[in-house]
Amino acid sequence: MTRIIPRELIKHLEWTLGQAPPAQPTVSLPPAAAPAQTSLFTIDNVLNGTPFYDTSMPTALRQAIAYAGSSGIVANMPELIAAKAKAGKSHAFWQDCYTVHTEENIGIDKKGAFYTRGKPVLVVMHGGGILTPDRIQQAYDEGLLNGSAKYQEAEFAALLEGKLLDGTSFPLYRLEEVQAGLSGLPHQFGVVMPYKIAQETKSGYHQKKAFLENPQVIVRAAGSLDQLEAFYERAKAPDGDLGNYHSFKDRDAAISQGRLLFLSNNFSGLLGYYSLNDIGRFVGVERRRRSS
């Protein structure tokens, strides 16, 4: 069972650009319907996964989900980072850019469940969230907003309560909890951070220290932070640069919206600027029990 760290013990670690933020009142996390369980899938399981490609993102995702079945998964960003940290450069994961089952959603925290009431937040959902194949197609039919799906108010509100409209529940954590070393995370979970931090975080290439300490990299890689340095060493350019890109600078979170992330095959790194109306290349993973 994942242990939730009281914010009072870690609030000294909170980070923002330039200087430490002023103290904020302590608030409680919304309860998850069930305790988080460590993922049942190993790095080797993911390395043995099967890629599914299509020029239609929802079609590729639908195929990967069907392959994984009810007991499998579609690899999220932390899982693919950990797999690439272990894989040789000849592995398929280093040959192409992959879409990951991790989505970044922005909107207003109207109840102040995580930070300041009425302020925008970024919710990084690992292991699937709002953007199912059907929901992506619906977004196409309704028209994308700056390359993202426009959400109903109820969809984003439910996300901040640790659930989806279909009744699925998942654990949610703050940025500061992940920075403090939260481990034993499941396949499906979310990380919430102030949108202002996401907007002010550099989008582009980073040298090692800046990459490993980047708060947006940390929430994108949450669950595999112990593999992040090894991933950096394998993925970096000869001059030490590795990318972490986003498109938040000029995006208004007043209209809740979201899109899926990509993981590059080279030093372009973690990519969050591709439109939802792009190709899909997902990794479906069948359930294989751990060796005893």
Average pLDDT of the chain is 88
Q: According to the model, what pLDDT value does residue 12 have? A: 40
pLDDT tens digit string along 9-18? Answer: 444 434 343 4
Higher pLDDT, 76 or 1: 76
Angle at 179 between CA 194 and CA 290, to 5 degrees: 120
As beta bridge partners, residue 105 has 123, 258
Angle at 216 between CA 63 and CA 20, to 5 degrees: 160
Whether the pLDDT of residue 34 is over 90: the answer is: no
Shortest CA distance to 187 belongs to which of 44, 40, 292? Answer: 40
Pairing of strands 119-126, 189-194: antiparallel
DSSP string, the chain: -PPPPPHHHHGGG---SSSPPPP----PPPPPSS-----S--HHHHHT-EEEEESSHHHHHHHHHHHHTTT-EE--HHHHHHHHHHS-TTSGGGTS-EEEEEEEEEEEETT-SSSSTTEEEEEEEES--S--HHHHHHHHHH--BTTBEEPPHHHHHHHTTTB-TTS-B--EEEHHHHHTT-----SSEEEEEEHHHHHHS--EEE-HHHHHH-HHHHHHSTT-GGGHHHHHHHH--TTS-EEEE---TT--TTS-EEEEEEE-SSTT-EE--S-SSS-EEEEEE---PPP-
How far is it, in rounded angstroms, from Cα 85 to Cα 235?
A: 8
Q: According to the model, what pLDDT value does residue 289 have? A: 53
pLDDT tens digit string along 159-212? Answer: 999 999 999 999 999 999 999 999 889 999 999 999 999 999 999 999 999 999
What confidence tier does 42 reach under pLDDT thresholds 50, 70, 90?
A: very high
**Contact status, residue 242 vs residue 221, Cβ threshold 8 Å:** no
In terms of C-beta density within 10 A (0-12 exposed, 13-18 middle, 19 or more buried), how is residue 3 classed? Answer: exposed
| Lowest-confidence region among 9-23, 95-109, 124-138, 254-268 | 9-23
Tell whether pTM > 0.75. yes
How far apart are the two ends of the chain, measured CA to CA in Å?
Answer: 20
- How many CA atoms lie within 13 Å of 164's alpha carbon, on the beta-carbon side? 14
pLDDT tens digit string along 111-134? Answer: 999 999 999 999 999 999 999 999
